[in-house]
Structure 1
Amino acid sequence: MNETTPTTTPAPLWTARDAAAATGAASGGDAAWTATGVAIDSRKVAPGDLFIAIQGPNFDGHAFVGKALEAGAAAALVGHAPEEVPADAPLLTVGDTLAAMEALGRAGRARTRAKIVGVTGSVGKTGTKEALRHVLGAQGSVYATEGSLNNHWGVPLSLARLPAGAAYGVFELGMNHAGELGPLSRMVRPDVSVITTVEAAHLEFFASVEDIADAKAEIFEGTAPGGIAVLNRDNPHYGRLAAAARARGLRVWGFGTHADAEARLADFSLHATCSAVTAVIGGERLQYCLSLPGKHWVMNSLAVLLAARGLGADLATAARSLSTLQPVKGRGTRKRIHAAQGAFTLIDESYNASPAAMAATLEVVSRIDPGAGGRRIAALGDMRELGDRADALHAALAEPLKAAHVDTVYCSGPHMRALFDRLPPAMQGRWTETSAELAPVVAAEVKGGDVVLVKGSAGSRMGTVVELLSSLDTRREEDSNGKPTASPLLSARS
């Protein structure tokens, strides 16, 4: 008897009728379509998607409606019918497509019975979001924000993609100006809101770190009445955030080393590839293995478990799930590169950077021993949005680099010049204006046994360095334990 593998048909997400009712749209063409997804990028349209033609500062989605329909989109949400699109095309016509996407997102939120958690913070929000996706996914159907879709486009798009039958929803909320987080929170309406930490990030747009804390506290504006605010009890701005949460009638649960923290770190040991943690959460003592290294991940794990508890998930099961957590692309992934000059370890932290994140990553690097004859190398790109303090904050990285026993530092970007000039001559590799110029320099210098960290803000395009170093691999990719993985080499820019 021949057996065939059954194909999985995506579950319906929006019918033409429901989407029209949610957005107040006028229907055209086939009014009986069903969408299984929602997209705003025509290059990423999957068959069955509802394509929303957003008009941005550099493009107009209406120019790509025809392409989206050719790619298999079930329908398109438009402000007007593009000339090249057939008259009988399945279109939903509205006055403002962004406002309509927001309405679709609010309708998606209103119809679900999922328990919802919102995550923000100066550092660690994407990793925490992915960790919550992982631990909650072991206990029920979970939907989480893809990538970093955390702004005024990404949040309503993510809500519009929320399956009605999901048990849990995890949403990342981002901002770099005051007044941005509140509207996003009011759309998401989280039952639990997590602020990972408040640090010196986005200083270009804020007069002080206290102002950043106030902007982060906007997440409480949409948090459900009687909901839970999960806060870093060790952060200097905890009191400010807790007061803002309580003023809105929320319960405050702290995490950290503080004696009064609801999730208290009792003991931990850090290793090159993992951490062992003992914590007391809600009075329950837990011991668990965390598959990601670094004290910053130990702290984030406390927030994850506290949020899971607030959503009603089983705490012990959630803790066990942390032993299989994988790093997010561009945020700590490791690859063993078998190059012609010898094998070296590549740590990809190319997606984001801030002074706090740099310090946390360097602490992890300090625990990784190079191979025979190898060195610790750091290839660093600019940290963005630091305002008038940018040069000083970049130069201050010299001490953490020394403490991590980094042998050679390569830098790109105007602000990284301040760091390069502060380094002792023995640590100075090379400074270049751009990452494109730096990539071949690092690739030419790396040798067998090296541990190479690549880190910078996404805008500094340090993914270019990761790509070139990855291309040196003469064998299939391996994970940090030397075991072959099924994933292809990283090829996309971060």
Structure 2
Amino acid sequence: MTKPLWTSDEIVAATGGELSGSAFSVNGVSIDTRSIEQNDLFVALAGVRDGHEFVPQALAGGAAGTLASKPVDGSSVRVEDTLKALEKLGEAARLRAPQARRGAVTGSVGKTSVTQAVRAGLARAGKAHSSVKSYNNHIGVPLTLARMPRDTERAVFEIGMNHADEITPLSKMVRPHAALITTVGPVHVEAFPDGEQGVARAKAEIFAGIEPGGVAILNADNKWYELLAEEAHKAGATVRSFGSGRTCDAELVDFAPEAGRASIKARLHGKALDFSILQTGFHWGPNAMAVLLMLEALDVSLDDSIAALGAFEPLAGRGAETQVRLAGGAFTLIDESYNANPISMAAAFKSLGARQTRGRRIVALTDMLELGPDAPAFHAALAAPLDEAGADLVFCAGPLMKSLWDALPPTRRGGYADTAAELAPLISAAMEPGDLVMVKGSNGSRAGAVAAALKALDVRSVETS
């Protein structure tokens, strides 16, 4: 018989709380009544709304008990602070599964996709656990730990930040055997007086909790590689590098994007590899090298690693491709609407330029956020990689993208609007069969609304509605 994830006695022991009501057991942990499942533990966190207000909904949705700091209906474990109790529950989950090899992933770009690709490899090798969605902050990391089954063999955790000293406690919570930094760039720089260097040092905090003899996996092509390697060595980690250099442990030799996939030539510790993946973005070249090294560090075979990479599909808003059918034919939509920064923009444009197309290359962009006082300059600088990619038309939305709009030659200007919602009909009206269209921007600037408007043009959705 399968053991429950937690019994109320175990929750009491882990958190120092007190049982109120009948004893209970749970198979999951939730902080959101909208996604509650049968026999979950509902954690009543303080937030914009007090989580205790939602306990009746959680119980109605199937929660078996509650972690609470106030009197509530039903069975509960009472604690002084529910967030601190969640952290203790996460640490208890780690301690009761000493056999689990743990990896942690951070970086300015690509950490969610890389984490999920690693998870796909772990799942081929045995009982695996990982972050879901982008659960990578001071709530998401302990929640992911608290959800880790006691028989987990391998796990990977995404760890994010937007200010200094945020990753350190999370790394110490996870205690990774391998820690990966995808890259460092001008993301969240508005929170750092020393700019990108401050971001690099904040990312290096992922080594704060690394297990003795652990592995640090670093991007040798990134300008902060030496700084990060030095911090990793200080933490007692062994450095493994990925990039385009011959001295890299995982060397990317060639990346050739095609329709819906890419061919990769690489060398892993000098051994030649040749495989394909279901991704077209050039950033997936180094991402794939990083995934191979992380899976190796977590004791996954090379065969399983390559098979996982080859089957891993793009996540929603992170490069997924759709054929949108118009009356006279289809255009290809590349949906990169989940997030954006100068690094990912340049990689996306390079990928677009490398693709063969019988139509036009069209780009729809919304503002990149959290770039500090240099934000207008970062946006204007996108004109150069767009030119190198041979973009035919560029559509822009938002006050920051106005800087790019002004920097574009008139022949490349497709349309400008103050908001994504206002841009959507402009680009929708311009679509023609054969076009290759990329939508990219920060989630907060609503790039997703533009992608959704383009998908809605599909005549099949009209026929079936």
| TM-score bucket (shorter structure) | over 0.9
The residue number in structure 2 matching 1:367 is 354
Instruction: Please point out which of 255, 261, 270 is paired with 2:248.
Output: 261
Q: Which structure 2 residues correspond to residues 183-262 of structure 1 after superposition, within 5 A?
A: 183-206=169-192, 207-262=194-249
Alignment partner of 1:474 out of 442, 455, 459: 459
Does structure 1 retain, via aligned residues, the 8 Å contact 2:117–2:308? no
For the 8 Å contact 1:290–1:298, the answer to whether it is kept is no
Q: Percent identity?
A: 45
CA RMSD of aligned residues (A): 1.9
Deviation at 1:444, TM superposition (A): 2.5
How is 1:161-176 mapped onto 2 (pairs within 5 angstroms)? 161-176=147-162
SS at match of 1:280: strand
After superposition, the Cα gap between the structure-2 partners of 1:476 and 1:444, relative to the gap in structure 1 and judged at 3 Å, is: closer
Alignment match, 1:3: none
Q: 3-state DSSP class of the match of 1:253?
A: strand
State the Cα deviation string for residues 149-187 of structure 1 (Å, max 9, x = none). Answer: 101111111111111112210100000111101011011
Q: Please say which of residues 170-179 and 288-297 is displaced more in the overlay.
A: 288-297
Matched residue type, 2:15 = T
SS of 1:231's partner is: strand
Larger deviation, residues 72-81 vs 338-347: 338-347
For residue 115 of structure 2, the aligned residue among 114, 129, 140 is 129
2:272 pairs with one of 285, 290, 298: 285
Distance across 2 between alignment mates of 1:233 and 1:367: 24
Which of 412-421 and 310-319 deviates more?
310-319
Give the CA deviation at 1:294. Answer: 3.3
Q: Which amino acid aligns with 2:108?
A: S
How far apart, in 1, do the equivalents of 2:430 and 2:257 lie? 30
1:80 is aligned to 70
Aligned pairs for 1:31-110 (under 5 A) are: 31=23, 33-56=24-47, 58-82=48-72, 85=73, 89-110=74-95
Aligned mate of 1:14, from 6, 18, 21: 6
- Pick aligned residue for 1:316 from 303, 306, 316: 303
Pair 1:434 & 2:419 matched: yes
| CA-CA distance at 1:222 after TM superposition | 0.5
2:69 counterpart letter in structure 1: G
Structure 2 counterpart of 1:445, from 425, 430, 433: 430
Paired residue type of 1:79: S
Counterpart amino acid of 1:24? G
Which AA in structure 2 matches 1:173? Answer: I
CA distance in 1, matches of 2:4, 2:446: 37
Deviation at 1:340, TM superposition (A): 4.1
How far apart are 1:236 and its partner, in Å? 1.4
2:459 aligned counterpart, secondary structure: coil
Asked whether the equivalents of residues 38 and 61 of structure 2 are also in contact (C-alpha less than 8 Å), the reply is yes
The two structures have a TM-score, normalised by structure 2, of 0.95
1:395 and 1:459 mapped to 2: Cα distance? Answer: 19
Which stretch has the larger CA shift, 201-210 or 288-297?
Answer: 288-297
What pairs with 1:448-463 in structure 2 (closer than 5 Å)?
A: 448-463=433-448
Q: Secondary structure at the match of 2:126?
A: coil
8 Å CA contact 1:272–1:367 kept in 2: the answer is no
1:325 pairs, out of 312, 325, 343, with 312
How far residue 377 of structure 1 moved from its aligned partner, in angstroms, is 1.6
Say if 2:122 and 2:155, in contact at 8 Å, map to a contact too: no
Q: Deviations over 1:465-491 (max 9, x none)?
A: 1222222223279xxxxxxxxxx99xx
* Gap change, CA 1:342 and 1:269, over 3 Å in 2: closer
For the residue of structure 1 that corresponds to 2:285, the secondary structure is helix
Number of residues of Structure 1 aligned to a counterpart in Structure 2: 462
CA distance in 2, matches of 1:279, 1:132: 18
Contact 1:272 1:364 in 2 (8 A): no
How far residue 121 of structure 1 moved from its aligned partner, in angstroms, is 0.6
Kept after mapping to 2: 8 A contact 1:288/1:320? no
The Cα shift of 1:124 comes to 1.1
- Give me the TM-score of the superposition, normalised by structure 1: 0.90
Q: How does 1:143-162 map to 2 (within 5 A)?
A: 143-162=129-148
